[in-house]
Chains A and B, each alone.
Chain A
Amino acid sequence: MKSVGSSPRRGGGLGRVTGHQQYLADIKLPDVLQVKLVTLPVARAKINSIDVTEAEALPGVAFVMTSADLPQPMPRFGPQFQDRPVLADGETKYHGEAVAAVAAETKEIAEEAVRLVKVHYDELHGGVYSVAEALADNPLLVQDPKLRGDSPLAHTNIIDEKHFGWGDIDSQESDLIVEDTFQFPMVTHFAIEPHGFMAAPDGDGIEIWSTIQHPYLLQKIMAKLLDMPLAMVRVHAPDPGGGFGGKQIPKLEPLIAYMALRAQRPVRLILTLDETFQTVRRSSAEVRVRLGFTENGVFTFQDIETNFLVGAYVDIADRVVSKSSYSAAGPYSVPAVKIIGRTIVSHTTPSTAFRGFGIPQISWARESVIDEAALRLGVDRLDIRLRNLARYREEFIPLEEADGDWEQTVRTAAKRIGWNDPLPPNRGRGIACGMKSGPTTGLSYSTVRLLYDGSAMVYAGTSDMGQGARTVFAQIASDELGVPLENIAVVMGDTAVVPYDQQTSASRSSVLMGTAVQRACQDIQGKVLTMATELYGINEDAVKTVGGRLLLPDREVTLTEVMQEALAPLGGEVIGNGEMRKEKDPNHPLGGTAAFFEFNCTASEVEVDMETGHVTLIKHVTVGDVGRSLNPKQVTAQDDGAAIQGLGHTLMEHYIFDDAGRVRNIGAIDYRILTSMDLPLEMHSESIENADGPGPYGIKGVSEGSLLVTAPAVGAAVREATGKVIRDLPLTPQRVWEALQEDENGS
């Protein structure tokens, strides 16, 4: 029976739901020191001195780590710019930035000692908390120009300004031009498992445990910081309990590593949920969109300016800006496009990758402005999208082609929502389209071992943080080797055991690592085929490999049977290696073409309580072009999950700051995410499957599509119900009510 295309029980699923899975925090290291961070109750402060005497005198405290205990100058790191210090360097640049860390025998002692650390500091007044403040004349500079190298923008808060586009927007003749600016709030990933870090000296090297999505990136960064060979840095990456991009890039691992080396003992830091708010977030954005149309609603041009407020250190945010801005015009065929994208630093929590990677911010603005144009032109909001959608295989962005029948996706969503059905009172519908570029480069290796008894082990450096990578890799191996799923072990999360994988991001793993696994299995098939030719004295041409079986001239044998016969009596195994590269393209502005696009159409029907502003989601439909569902249940679950996460930033999630740059709603009480009771009354996630993707069996990546355009779909539905355009997210009851109070003049 074929495993691919079915939905077997999830690998590791039982452990997750019964509490047996060993998350990082469940791993007990002997003789471990517990770490707690010392932070300040202000956003910006100049640190004058830190007195650790009293804290270190507390019985059970090993030491307090301050910046003075680190190599000088302060070591800095980051995936793109080496701007993040291991500890605050003389100054805190955002609320919650650690200035010191206590190592103690127990967490309770560490907590007690944190209160005894005397940080003498002066609060620095004023700060850059908004795009306007960052771009003001003679702004306060968030980053020291000396750290900006030879950047011509070193004396601004702009890390980089990207210019993309094609055609000449000024020479286009338009019947209608619509312009508007939309805001997208700061939101956090809210993975149920908070970030955790452990480190232990290991001879001349170091072992690090992290909830990281990219163990090999962590290994590389640590080797460089500690000046150790890669072989001496071993990263353990147990399956994270949710990542969503927030666990891609190293954060506090360097601090923990320096502390372990100082202590010459294992050390451990598990963040609280509150601390994760001050560790990761999505970049907020202000997006200005100017669109030109013919009277029939056909695009004449798009002019888009994105200003992303990325926080105090750049992390991976500059890549978020370039990648999302590059495809800011969306899945449409547009004759002329001009895009300016800015990466802007601020005195706020550093932002990082987050499911959707910048696209939700831009599509919120673009799709909302398309709706405005449709209404003014008297064109149906579905039709205006269908008229402009890029055709299958059309080069709709230079060097990028539409890799799916996107019209089929849109029509499916429209049908599912009942686009033309009559609307009951106080109801509205919205529809929106978006797409996100998959990985532009990639490198994944896999090793697969067919063991003597016919079971198999798959080694894959992907992190399974809930997306189900373990299951799909096992499914691929099962079909390719003819080994039952339950006899396959998938080994992940240890750089000393599992070969290199670039990263777990951009919905890449099924496509890239999946291909590497498939190729490793094919390597085994080839080796077994050679065994068969030798065993049976036949020619290679006389044998055909189908899945896990060999078709000999006279009979059919399994790979396992051939292997066992060939390897007897000593036993042994057959080892296969697979590699998947997605090479760089130096001519591409992003350094490479998209391996695939995640194209999604979301349609939503809402009912608005006109007295209170409460929005009830009556029906929410997302349809994605997935190429093919390797595991339909997992694909649907991914889409459901993404849609729900998107409904969070659409309806209720946002950081609230006070005037001094402090986050006021840290934690689960006043930062609200959806509960099961807040879900749409009806929810559908569907897949379009034309087997036209680059991955094994024609798959494309999935997991981000369903939140790319949640906000504009729901926003359009609220607009239809209320007649009001709301330009800020989330669409809280209060914000909808306030919009309802506005008169026709908008005041």
Chain B
Amino acid sequence: MNRFQYARPETVAEAVALLEEYGDDARLLAGGTDLVIELRNRWVEPKVVIDLKHIPELTPSITVRDDVLSISASTVMTDIAEDELVQRHFPALVEAAVVVGSVQIRARATLAGNICNGSPAADTSPPLLVYDAVVVIAGPEGTRRTPVDDFIVGPGKTSLGRGELVTAVELPIPQRPFGAAYTRLTRRRGTDLASITLCCGVDTDGHTRLAYGSVGPRAFLEIDDTGTLADPSVSIEEKVAPLDQLFHRASPSPKSLRASPDYRLAMLRVLGARALETALGRLTKEQV
């Protein structure tokens, strides 16, 4: 670990000012589950580490206002997974949150940190994409909101500009029946990094939203409005081809230690079909 300054701002404005001053030489500390490892291994050598845990505006909270569920930036995975509102409206996000790292990691790791870290294998990216989440960003120019699909850019990259930080993630509560499921491919059942992350959501109007990660530089969102995939009366065999088309952006790395490109591409189809089936099953339940 190299030497760095440690800053503990008490307002978002102070944090923004520090970020503006240091730019890429600053790193934000929320849960620290990625940052501390990066510091220890000297993968990052910031001049300043800005601790966000003492900013009252970012205190862990999950609230609902105007049919939008808002998760503040320092809210950890455990709390998200155990929250009744999240469980009721966003079960696929719960399924993703409960497999991030290990029990210990989930007690520290934040949702905001998971997407800001920019890992293509981030578990929460696909459900956030499927649920059409919006990222709330504070910066020198004030607050702005951006769809999570625009926020995620590539490995380690987000659309955050200089001086900007995430203050919350907002999820619009579906106003019509919506069934969604998250699934992943790992090498073992216990704690593991995913070789594929995948979330599928369907509604009663024939829309299918499918997001998948860990097979390219970022998680991708695909939307199918033909109605075929979302139609429970169409057999899974007939859905293979349209489902396959949704994975056209997948480009798994041949250098990966975790799985070969052929295997990942084949598993995308398998997991896609399974998640679709589960999502449709949940949709049916919602309608009952």
Segment at the B interface, from A379-387, A412-420, A556-564, A666-674? A666-674
Within B255-288, the residues touching A (CB, 8 Å) are 257-260, 263, 266-267, 270
How many pairs of residues, A versus B, come closer than 8 Å at their CB atoms?
Answer: 40
Complex Cα spacing A669 to B186, Å: 12
Segment at the A interface, from B164-172, B187-195, B209-217, B219-227? B187-195
Nearest Cβ in chain B — how far from A34, in angstroms?
15
Complex Cα spacing A159 to B157, Å: 52
A587: which B residues are within 8 A, CB to CB?
none
Is A672 in contact with B187, judged by CB distance below 8 angstroms?
Answer: yes
State which of B190, B193, B257 has its C-beta within 8 Å of the C-beta of A675: B190
Is A677 in contact with B257, judged by CB distance below 8 angstroms?
Answer: no
Is A678 in contact with B188, judged by CB distance below 8 angstroms?
Answer: yes
Is B266 in contact with A652, judged by CB distance below 8 angstroms?
Answer: no
Is A732 in contact with B187, judged by CB distance below 8 angstroms?
Answer: yes
Q: Which of A651, A664, A676, A733 has the most CB of B within 10 A?
A: A733
A670: which B residues are within 8 A, CB to CB?
257-258
Over the window 95-113 of chain B, the binary record of Cβ atoms lying under 8 Å from chain A Cβ atoms (1 yes, 0 no) is 0000000000000000000
User: How many residues from B make CB contacts under 8 Å with A?
Assistant: 17
A51 within 8 A of B: no
Complex Cα spacing A667 to B114, Å: 22
Is B188 in contact with A676, judged by CB distance below 8 angstroms?
Answer: no
With A611-B270, A665-B257 as known contacts, state yes or no: A674 contacts B190, CB within 8 Å: yes
Is B187 in contact with A652, judged by CB distance below 8 angstroms?
Answer: yes
B62 within 8 A of A: no
- Closest Cβ neighbor of B269 among chain A residues: A611
With A611-B270, A612-B270, A738-B263 as known contacts, state yes or no: A652 contacts B257, CB within 8 Å: no
Nearest Cβ in chain B — how far from A655, in angstroms?
11
Nearest Cβ in chain A — how far from B256, in angstroms?
9
Is A675 in contact with B263, judged by CB distance below 8 angstroms?
Answer: no
Over the window 196-232 of chain B, the binary record of Cβ atoms lying under 8 Å from chain A Cβ atoms (1 yes, 0 no) is 0000000000000000000000000000000000000
Is A734 in contact with B257, judged by CB distance below 8 angstroms?
Answer: no
B260: which A residues are within 8 A, CB to CB?
734
Is A678 in contact with B189, judged by CB distance below 8 angstroms?
Answer: yes
With A656-B257, A734-B259, A734-B260 as known contacts, state yes or no: A672 contacts B188, CB within 8 Å: yes
Nearest Cβ in chain A — how far from B271, in angstroms?
8
With A656-B257, A669-B193, A670-B258 as known contacts, state yes or no: A612 contacts B267, CB within 8 Å: yes
B160 within 8 A of A: no
With A611-B270, A656-B257 as known contacts, state yes or no: A734 contacts B189, CB within 8 Å: no
B185 within 8 A of A: yes
B266: which A residues are within 8 A, CB to CB?
737
Nearest Cβ in chain B — how far from A110, in angstroms?
13
Complex Cα spacing A733 to B267, Å: 11
Is A737 in contact with B263, judged by CB distance below 8 angstroms?
Answer: yes
- Closest Cβ neighbor of A665 among chain B residues: B257
Over the window 668-704 of chain A, the binary record of Cβ atoms lying under 8 Å from chain B Cβ atoms (1 yes, 0 no) is 0110101111100000000000000000000000000
Q: Which of B1, B185, B187 has the most CB of A within 10 A?
A: B187
B187: which A residues are within 8 A, CB to CB?
652, 672, 732-733
Indicate the size class of the contact surface on chain A.
20 to 34
Nearest Cβ in chain B — how far from A6, in angstroms?
34
Is B188 in contact with A674, judged by CB distance below 8 angstroms?
Answer: yes
- Closest Cβ neighbor of A735 among chain B residues: B263
Nearest Cβ in chain B — how far from A733, in angstroms?
7
Complex Cα spacing A734 to B259, Å: 7
State which of A669, A678, A732 has its C-beta within 8 Å of the C-beta of B190: A678
Complex Cα spacing A669 to B258, Å: 10
Is B191 in contact with A675, judged by CB distance below 8 angstroms?
Answer: yes
Is B267 in contact with A677, judged by CB distance below 8 angstroms?
Answer: no
B267: which A residues are within 8 A, CB to CB?
612, 737
Nearest Cβ in chain B — how far from A743, in angstroms?
16
- Closest Cβ neighbor of A613 among chain B residues: B263
Complex Cα spacing A62 to B191, Å: 41
- Closest Cβ neighbor of A112 among chain B residues: B2
Is A677 in contact with B185, judged by CB distance below 8 angstroms?
Answer: no
- Closest Cβ neighbor of A648 among chain B residues: B188
- Closest Cβ neighbor of B274 among chain A residues: A611
A651: which B residues are within 8 A, CB to CB?
188
Complex Cα spacing A676 to B185, Å: 18
A669: which B residues are within 8 A, CB to CB?
193
With A612-B267, A612-B270, A734-B263 as known contacts, state yes or no: A675 contacts B258, CB within 8 Å: no
Is A677 in contact with B263, judged by CB distance below 8 angstroms?
Answer: no
Nearest Cβ in chain A — how far from B237, in angstroms?
14
With A611-B270, A670-B257, A734-B263 as known contacts, state yes or no: A675 contacts B185, CB within 8 Å: no
Is B188 in contact with A664, judged by CB distance below 8 angstroms?
Answer: no
Complex Cα spacing A451 to B267, Å: 68
B259: which A residues are within 8 A, CB to CB?
734
Complex Cα spacing A108 to B2, Å: 10
Nearest Cβ in chain A — how far from B276, in angstroms?
14
Complex Cα spacing A358 to B258, Å: 28
Nearest Cβ in chain A — how far from B124, in angstroms?
19
Is B192 in contact with A672, judged by CB distance below 8 angstroms?
Answer: yes
Over the window 170-191 of chain B, the binary record of Cβ atoms lying under 8 Å from chain A Cβ atoms (1 yes, 0 no) is 0000000000000001011111
Nearest Cβ in chain A — how far from B180, in angstroms?
21
- Closest Cβ neighbor of A108 among chain B residues: B1
A733: which B residues are within 8 A, CB to CB?
187, 263
A-B contact pairs, 16 of them (CB 8 A): A108-B1, A612-B185, A612-B267, A652-B188, A656-B257, A664-B257, A669-B193, A672-B188, A674-B190, A675-B190, A677-B188, A678-B189, A678-B190, A732-B187, A734-B260, A734-B263
Q: A651-B188, A664-B257, A675-B189 are in contact. List 13 more A-B contacts (CB 8 A).
A: A108-B1, A612-B270, A652-B188, A669-B193, A676-B190, A677-B188, A678-B188, A678-B190, A732-B187, A733-B263, A734-B260, A737-B266, A738-B263
The chain A residues found within 8 Å of chain B, CB to CB, are 108, 611-612, 651-652, 656, 664-665, 669-670, 672, 674-678, 732-734, 737-738
In the A-B complex, list the 4 residue pairs whose CB atoms are closest, starting with the nearest.
Answer: A675-B190, A677-B190, A677-B189, A734-B263
